[in-house]
Structure 1
Amino acid sequence: MAHVLIIGGGIAGPVTAMALRRAGIDATVYEAFPAGADDVGSFLTLFANGLAALRAIDADGPVREASCVAETVEFISDTGRLLGRRPLSGSWDDGLGPRTLRRSELCRTLRAEAARRGVRVEHAKRLVDLTVRPRGTVVARFADGTRAEGTAVVGADGLRSRTRTLLDPGAPPPRHTGQLTVCGRTRDAHAPVPDRTYRMYYGQRAFFGCTRAPDGTTYWFANMPGPELPRAALAAATPDQWRHRVTEAFAGDRTPAAAIAAATGDDIVGINAYDIPTTPVWHNAHTVLVGDAAHATAPNAAQGASMAIEDGVVLARCLRDLPGNEQAFEAYEGLRRERVERVVALSAAMAGRAPGTAEERRTRDAEVERRMAEDPRPRMNWLTGYRIDWAAPVH
């Protein structure tokens, strides 16, 4: 009987396990952290395509309950001028308006739903090595000395994927995008955002976005140009240091961005922004990559989680319908590579848009106004309009 070993219990891992179970394939999730990663202050957005992928396996309900919805986006210049307002992608067709929630809450929700469906999740299992036995089964060896055996391995272990390195020792490392991303949340914001709305501020020096949950919590993020911080410096940075860095970046703007950051307590975290433009090797005869392990995306397009969810559902369909790992993995790569690399490129281009001079900012504002006046559906449907037909066979 087929049994898949899934390395990583973040977002892609539990989704892949649930999709495989729905396809009649048993799977176990092995998570490196003792109780899962806890990104204090960090949050994410699931757009319509990510929610639709969860809906394909009837797993969107718990995520909806744990998140808040936004239906409208507003873009505002550093002078405080409204550049435009329009429905957010996905809210205009099948009611799948983008959902906002903490990353740690999404991971907990997906793991809990997977466990409810009978998926086993084992913690403190950091992958060390993979070996293939003569009869074709693959053995995963973990840092605690334990082992697990299965018919296939799915690497869902994120940006610093050990599975990716074992699959291809020459795989390109993550690339720093020249950007730092800071996320926070506060109930003390003095400039509340309208209900079900994302406000995006084009600052003179950085970009700021925020939304408000029904309980009054304002979630915000700031994308700021900056060099890659060493891991030690990143780990040592305090909430107060991140708060000061963000308020300083937006202090010269006539927007509430600096005040929102200043009103934030310890629920604030900063990260280096990375991506992986392309990963040459996605699979071999027994191992395959999903999510950030295959195609890490800069946060600007807010599609990393949705891409990981799509991967898990598509992979499960391929393993359900095609004979043997190799054919299934090849079909999965064929269905996914072009799309995800296009998303990575889009997000990288957004990360590269530096604020520039006053004249360049005026030109940018004019372009934003022009785009906001257009119907976004023809331009964005390829991204957020993507849907997976679970019942359709994979050939």
Structure 2
Amino acid sequence: MTKAIVAGGGIAGTATALALHRIGWDVSLFEARGEDADERGAFLTVAVNGIAALRTLGINPDVALAGGYPTPTCVLRNGAGRELARAPLGGPTDDGLVTTTIRRADLYLALRTAVRDAGIPIHYGRRVTGVTHDADLLVGADGINSQVRRELDDARPRYLGLLNAGGFTSEPVAADVDPTPGLMHMTFGRRCFFGWSVAPDGSVWWFANPPSRTPHHGSSDGWREHLIDLLSVDEGPAAAIVRATPDALGPWNTYDLPRVRTWRSDNVVLVGDAAHAASPSSGQGASMAFEDAVVLGEALASSASVPAGLAAYEEIRRPRVQKVVQAGRRNGSGKAAGPVGAAVRDFMMPPMMRLLYRNGHPQAWILDHRV
């Protein structure tokens, strides 16, 4: 039986392990952290193209995403509270898919449960130190700072000039909060970009992207108060939402990978963020990982050899993911516009969005894609 080692037990690693298991491979999954380690990050969005890929992997989205809630629509405002645009985020589609927001920890738990149910062993506390192995394939699914990638390519993550934070309210918000289900609110604040939505239990899930010229490497002490100060100059409930959150998560630095020249050797391949990390502003990190897993499994199943399968996987995936990385960087750059840039954005966005959507969904190439 063909054997594979998957390095990394996150979203890309678990999805890839399931994809290889489905084509009859003997798969082992290795994760650097312990089984009970806390998952970094607050929540993420799985878009309809990613949910479709989950289905292809044999995972029931109703089960895997049960801890989340649909967020098919986004409203964009400026710091003065003026609505600039409304945009669909995906679904409901004809086959019942809808873009869903879910806690990162809940998604990880669902995916690792699916791995265990499939009989795939997970080895915790096992970190990559090199690429020497006795399997037919080593899959580097070990994230944006991938050790496996370092053995193949010298690409390094690119800092995007934004920090990332998030949280969940546990107290009443002392401001008016739109309770509309499924609506993701995003504000181009004067000093900080802010996004939020109301979960079914009434809590508010939020994220913030304050600009920073340099990456943050210090203590998180005072971080919540700093965010409240940044957000207090804007209209809307942002500052009050953070005040209602005793424990603000973060900050994390945001990065992408502009281009990784080498994705593979004859028996090593990169997937997910190890190969093509996009800015969080793309909203496609998890979805791209799910698509990778499907394409890799099908390419290996239909090829005469492992090297041929890896070549087919790269040929299919590289053009799409590089385009997504570029789109994510463009989206992120608008979050840190200066006063002049913000004025131009506020003036141009409403008519530009109306024009774009008049000719169809400008993100259809992302959301309508099926692997």
- 2:274 counterpart residue number: 293
Task: Indicate yes or no: 2:369 matched with 1:368.
Answer: no
Range with greater deviation from structure 2 (57-66 or 328-337): 57-66
2:337 aligns with one of 355, 360, 363: 355
Q: Distance in 2 between matches of 1:156 and 1:120?
A: 16
In 2, the alpha carbon distance for the partners of 1:268 and 1:255 equals 21
Query: 2:209 — aligned with what?
Result: 223
Q: Deviations over 1:22-75 (max 9, x none)?
A: 122221110000116523661111111111110112212322212111122111
1:165 aligns with 2:189: no
Shift of the alpha carbon at 1:246?
1.6
Q: Deviations over 1:205-239 (max 9, x none)?
A: 221111111111211111121033354x1xx313x
1:127 has 2:148 as partner: no
> How far did residue 245 of structure 1 move?
2.1
- Aligned equivalents of 2:271, 2:41: Cα separation in 1: 25
Q: Is the 8 A contact 2:164 2:252 kept in 1?
A: yes
Q: Deviations over 1:287-344 (max 9, x none)?
A: 0000010011111111111111111111011111101111111100001111111111
**How large is the Cα RMSD of the aligned pairs?**
1.8
What is the aligned length? 364
Whether 1:84 aligns to 2:85 is yes
Shift of 1:252: 1.1
Change over 3 Å in CA distance of 1:93–1:83 after alignment to 2: farther
SS of residue paired to 1:345? helix
Choose the corresponding residue for 1:382, options 346, 359, 365. 365
- Matches of 2:329 and 2:85, distance apart in 1: 23
Structure 1 residues 268-287: aligned runs within 5 Å = 268-287=249-268
With over 3 angstroms needed to count, the CA separation of the structure-2 counterparts of 1:375 and 1:16, relative to structure 1, is farther
Amino acid in the other structure paired with 2:205: Y
Q: Distance in 1 between matches of 2:365 and 2:95?
A: 15
* d(CA) in 2 for partners of 1:382, 1:36: 38
CA shift, 1:10, in A, is 0.4
Gaps of 5+ in 2: none
TM-score (norm 1): 0.88
The alpha-carbon distance between structure 1 residues 53 and 376, as it changes in their structure 2 partners (threshold 3 A), is farther
Letter in 1 for 2:167: G
8 A Cα contact 2:72 2:100, kept in partner: no
Give the alignment partner of residue 198 of structure 1, picking from 184, 194, 199.
Answer: 184
% of aligned pairs identical?
Answer: 37
CA contact (8 A) 1:205 1:355 kept: no
Residue of structure 2 in register with 1:262 after alignment: 243
Q: Given the two structures, how large is their TM-score scaled by the length of structure 2? A: 0.93
Q: Does 1:150 align with 2:132?
A: no
Asked if the contact 1:68/1:101 (under 8 Å) is kept, the reply is: yes
Change (3 A) 1:179 1:344: same
2:20 and 2:266 map into 1 onto residues whose CA distance is 18
2:100 paired residue number: 99
Unaligned runs of 5+ in 1: 132-138, 140-148, 389-395
The whole-number CA distance in structure 2 between the counterparts of 1:313 and 1:110 is: 15
Q: Give the 3 Å change call, closer, same or farther, for CA 334–40 of structure 1 in structure 2.
A: closer
Q: Is the 8 A contact 1:286 1:326 kept in 2?
A: yes
Alignment correspondent of 1:56: 56
What is the CA distance between 1:377 and its match in structure 2?
A: 4.0
Change (3 A) 1:382 1:62: same
The letter of the residue matching 1:25 is: W
Secondary structure, counterpart of 1:114 in structure 2: helix
Measure the CA separation in 2 of the matches of 1:48 and 1:23. Answer: 24
- 1:375: how far off? 4.2
**Relative to 1, partners in 2 of residues 1:267 and 1:253: Cα closer, same or farther, differing over 3 Å?**
closer
Give the drift of 1:355: 2.7
